[in-house]
């Protein structure tokens, strides 16, 4: 008796990655590393921060791997300017060493985590998947510095009250771990609409990243309950 064949499994979504690295041989090496991981694809490589600012807003990538040491415009400066242009794209800083001061400044600029350049393919894959699920790949030492920094900053309640009801709704969902596509489905709006709302939220809260926005929102909520 012949068995009915199972339909082929739907292919997993390809994770689109952009690389910002000034050295050609290092770009080639990282491109091969990225493309060698199942469902990962390096769709864009930029040789400078200026090049990244020109090209990446149009590329619709999921994750940017950003070298911290770039000529002229550093990776930190590029992240500061790039994040408001692509707020829903995750930016992971590539660094030779986990120098806490440098990495902390990158996170303040809007980076969503960092990777050591000597990482293995398995570590790269884990970090990318983690950040796409809402995680922030970093060491516990740097995480403590980020938390301490937010505790030192006074809650800007007056700024949060300027958010529209829709923006507050989106920020609340963001704080619960939803990503933009899930928020769009939850609210019955388009992905582009959610992305536009996020840009306005970041501008009003004077933040550069999802992590900063959520921290500011949660800090304000706690202040309001006291």
- Which residue reads 């998947």 in tokens? 129
- Tell me, what CATH number does 196's domain have? 1.10.10.10
Q: Which domain holds residue 212?
A: 153-225
What sign does the dihedral 78-21-113-143 (CA atoms) show? Answer: negative
Same-domain check for residues 29 and 127:
yes
Whether residues 77 and 158 share a domain: the answer is: no
Is the pLDDT score of 17 beyond 50? yes
Do residues 40 and 137 share a domain? Answer: yes
- Strand pairing category for 15-20 and 63-67: parallel
Say yes or no: 58 and 120 in one domain.
Answer: yes
- Tally the domains of the chain: 2
Kindly report, residue by residue over 114-154, the tens digit of the pLDDT: 888 888 899 899 999 988 887 777 766 666 666 666 555 55
Residue 5 in any domain: the answer is no
Contacts 24+ apart (CB under 8 A), 190-198: 194/88, 194/170, 195/87, 195/88, 197/166, 197/167, 197/170, 198/87, 198/88, 198/170, 198/174
- pLDDT tens digit string along 96-120? 876 777 777 888 788 888 888 888 8
CATH number of the structural domain spanning residue 110? 3.40.50.2300
Of 147, 170, 204, which residue constitutes the final position of a domain? 147
For residue 39, being part of any structural domain is answered with: yes
Indicate the residue among 125, 147, 169 that finishes a domain: 147
Question: What does the pLDDT average to over 196-203?
Answer: 84
Q: Are residues 106 and 191 in the same domain?
A: no
- Does one domain contain both 158 and 57? no
70 and 171, same structural domain? no
Same domain, 51 and 125: yes
Residue 101 shares a structural domain with residue 192: no
């Amino acid at each position: 008796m012949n068995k009915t064949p199972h339909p082929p499994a739907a292919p997993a979504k390809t994770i689109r990655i952009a690389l910002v690295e000034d050295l050609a041989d290092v770009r080639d090496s990282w491109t091969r590393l990225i493309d060698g991981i199942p469902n990962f694809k390096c769709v864009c490589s930029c040789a400078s921060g200026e090049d990244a600012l020109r090209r990446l807003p149009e590329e619709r990538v999921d994750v940017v791997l950003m070298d911290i040491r770039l000529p002229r415009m550093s990776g930190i400066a590029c992240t500061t300017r790039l994040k408001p242009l692509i707020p829903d794209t995750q930016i992971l800083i590539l660094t030779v060493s986990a120098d806490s001061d440098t990495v902390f400044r990158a996170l303040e600029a809007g980076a969503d985590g960092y990777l050591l350049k000597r990482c293995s393919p398995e570590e790269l894959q884990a970090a990318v998947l983690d950040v796409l699920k809402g995680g922030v790949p970093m060491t516990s030492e740097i995480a403590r510095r980020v938390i301490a920094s937010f505790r030192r900053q006074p809650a800007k309640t007056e700024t949060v009250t300027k958010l529209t009801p829709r923006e507050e709704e989106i920020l609340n969902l963001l704080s619960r771990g939803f990503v933009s596509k899930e928020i769009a489905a939850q609210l019955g709006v388009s992905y582009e609409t959610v992305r536009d709302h996020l840009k306005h939220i970041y501008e009003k809260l004077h933040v550069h990243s999802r992590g900063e926005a959520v921290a500011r929102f949660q800090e304000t909520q706690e202040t309001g309950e006291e």
